[in-house]
Structure 1
């Protein structure tokens, strides 16, 4: 079997409107005849292809890839990174997570802590939470006056434009889960001692503001999905489907680049090793 094109189905066009209530987080429409078990082979193939393409990306040392992942708590950010990128050479990938800013962070502009972690040539960097936390959390929790988060839309758009113009390919993913699915995942953390460390009672405060978060995410995606740094709203209630969509999207992105091993500036045939 195969899977449809997530970029065509889930990409938010620049200037497009977003209504998360109308996007079913439990759907699997791109593989209507599939389920978790009969898509395992396809997922395996996609990860193998990603592995091969990433090797060329790293050797060529020309392109840079930034993957930005946002979601509500339990949305699957960690699991997505773990499964989709499990076969990528660790030399060529870095995963960064931006949570509550430190005192030193707060003494600088909000992008100060972000910029040192963007990818260099041949590198993939995944932001598991990102600079968008400094809009979403600030707005919903009213940490600063409105004019602060409002101007940050412009700042992130220009920041991403600069990265793109300097050669960075940017993929932004919003992993869209339902409130019911979040409840199930939070409860699973409570009943499993091995998952207690993942549970934070403060997450329940954010859950109580679910409607506010959805409205803010909708506006954020609308305002910051651009031709050079588009958002993709990925249904994420089904973990296997989420992973499959992200893997296909990432594989296709790599295939769209001019990836090739660099030609040596010496003649391999002239080398003799005693």
Structure 2
């Protein structure tokens, strides 16, 4: 198995999704992939402890992908060894009435991680240029002053929204948030198999919705808009990574490796040193405790 190199998955120029592989390490045994992941996620957990003490950066991990692309299980497996205080997971579903009473980025601002913590967003602010672009009628529910009908949800509208999202991310990165955007690149055939497994396993039935089949019929449209979103918004400070997602254990390993290798390049992330006064009195403090 070759090494996972972040630059192989990072989008630095135009990407065509149909040209990208959806399967990673198909010939490697699952146990071997899980063994490697276990080692990496322990290192990630220790790194987050250091980041918590350092208290200068936060990390925002954005996960996007078609239904069944493995986002939930990835979160469970990659962040398993984190201190519970160090990671916060948010899942963005259909906006509530309260959320629709604010601008579309409001609920995403509220869910941002504080310094020293990881925020993992399962579906993200990109839903606002993906699902709503496939179903532009949803935009009418946002009650925007310049949108009176579907005709107003035109290319100029999407150009403006993409620019707003890039500005949102620019603001975050300039204020200490490290952003990772992962697109879980699933094949249509693999999605079909996973949906069938949901139907065939009683304990998985609850995950299935008839709406899954409705959205599946729009597969090509979603792929087109995912590709456009990635190409428009992958920047040096907030890059997209396209992760082959047909093999779940391999996809988890790829995401964990990218996080660890790139975060390890921040050589300023160090546990703070004690102040000189405390250092000078360490022996006295130890003696006080020992003599209690």
TM-score of the aligned structures, taking structure 2 as reference length:
0.88
> In the alignment, is the contact (CA less than 8 A) between 2:24 and 2:251 conserved in 1?
no
Gap regions ≥5 residues in structure 2 = 140-152
- In our comparison, the structure showing a higher alpha carbon Rg is 2
Distance of 1:176 and 1:2 partners within structure 2: 20
Paired residue for 1:97? 91
- Choose the corresponding residue for 2:134, options 137, 140, 145: 140
Partner of 1:26: 23
**Cα drift, residue 103 of structure 1:** 1.4
Q: CA deviation at 1:152?
A: 1.1
Per the alignment, residue 131 of structure 1 pairs with 125
Structure 1 unpaired stretches of 5+: none
Which structure shows the higher helix fraction? 2
Higher mean C-alpha deviation, range 178-187 or range 116-125 = 116-125
CA contact (8 A) 2:9 2:242 kept: yes
Q: Secondary structure at the match of 2:257?
A: helix
Partners of 1:37 and 1:242 in 2: CA distance: 14
Q: How many residues align?
A: 268
Q: Secondary structure at the match of 1:44?
A: helix
4+ residue runs over 2 A deviation: 1-4, 32-35, 37-41, 146-150, 267-270
Query: How much does 1:48 deviate?
Result: 1.3
Give the counterpart of 2:270 among 260, 264, 271. 260
- Counterparts in 2 of 1:98 and 1:47: CA distance versus 1, 3 Å: same
Partner of 2:218: 209
Task: Report 1:132-171 matches (<5 A).
Answer: 132-143=126-137, 144=139, 145-146=153-154, 147-171=156-180
* RMSD of aligned alpha carbons: 1.5
Instruction: Show CA shifts across 1:47-85 (max 9, x none).
Output: 111111111111221211000100000011101111000
Aligned pairs for 1:69-80 within 5 A? 69-80=63-74
Residue 61 (structure 1) aligns with: 55
